[in-house]
Amino acid sequence: MSHTPTPTPHPAGTSRAAQKEQSRRALLDAALLLLDHQNLSSLGVREVTRAAGLSPAGFYRHFRDLDELGVTLVTESLGSLHLMIEKVLAEQGEPERLIERTVAVIARHVREHRAHIRFLARERHGGVQPVRAAIAAEFAAFTEQTAAALSLQEESADWSAADLSMLAALYVEHLVGTAAAFLEAPAGSRAAEQRIAARARDQLRLISIGRRHWTSAKG
């Protein structure tokens, strides 16, 4: 008499695990959407569950905290980035063509994963320590991966490991900076995008010229 019981909370007929996964995704997607205009440290449990269509208590069936949800988002965001970087590193051909492809891949990735990339840029130096740590760890791994790929190229035959790592860090930082620049571009303005791309290509050209003429310090 006091409360009406709740009728079928899910489109019945699906497996239980699939139902749960669906809710989990709803939470992650809702959070990512809210994080477009907001910082992770100011996100609220109720806010997320409201946007995802769950009751507040439901949140705790999936995550201990918002930090945990944040770390999950980091993992997802970096997963796709990882694939992109592998794609870039696998490219072959003359340097000029390679630079062109690299920047195009970055631009495309930002266009197709805007929310993820913005999240990474925003939380890389954000106020939530575990999230910052997760991002930093993964970026370090990218740098190592890049260094390994560079060491296989003939241009770096006589490079020391330290120098390769230094160069890889420069490339990764440039990649991140370029992605962030694409983000700032007034969403959809091809003109702005092309200006950013042109500049990024020139910067990569300059760096690869430096690379070609590099001679390690203690000469």
The CA-to-CA distance between both ends of the chain, in Å, stands at 88
Question: Least distance in Å: CB of 98 to a second copy?
Answer: 16
Give the dihedral of Cα atoms 33, 35, 36, 39; nearest 10 deg: 170
Among 1, 17, 152, 157, binds DNA (CB under 7 A): 17
Distance CA 163, CA 79 (A): 27
Indicate which of DNA, a second copy, none lies near residue 218 (CB less than 5 to 8 Å, by partner kind).
none
Contact 120, 74 (CB under 8 A): yes
Binding residues with DNA: total (CB under 7 A): 33
- For 24, the token pair is 């989990």
Phi and psi torsions of 197, nearest 5°: -60, -45
Q: Which is nearer to DNA, 26 or 84 (CB)?
A: 26
d(CA 31, CA 45): 9
Q: How far is the CB of 87 from DNA (least distance, A)?
A: 35
If the CB atoms of residues 24 and 122 are measured against DNA, the closer one turns out to be 24
Binding site for a second copy (CB under 8 A): 35, 37-42, 118, 121-122, 124-127, 129, 136, 163, 166-167, 169-170, 173-174, 177, 180, 183-184, 199, 202-203, 205-214, 217
- For the segment 24-63, give every residue that binds DNA (CB under 7 A): 44-47, 53-62
Report the alpha-carbon angle 195-200-206, nearest 5. Answer: 130
Applying CB under 7 A, the residues found at the interface with DNA are: 3, 5-10, 12-17, 19-20, 22-23, 44-47, 53-62, 65-66
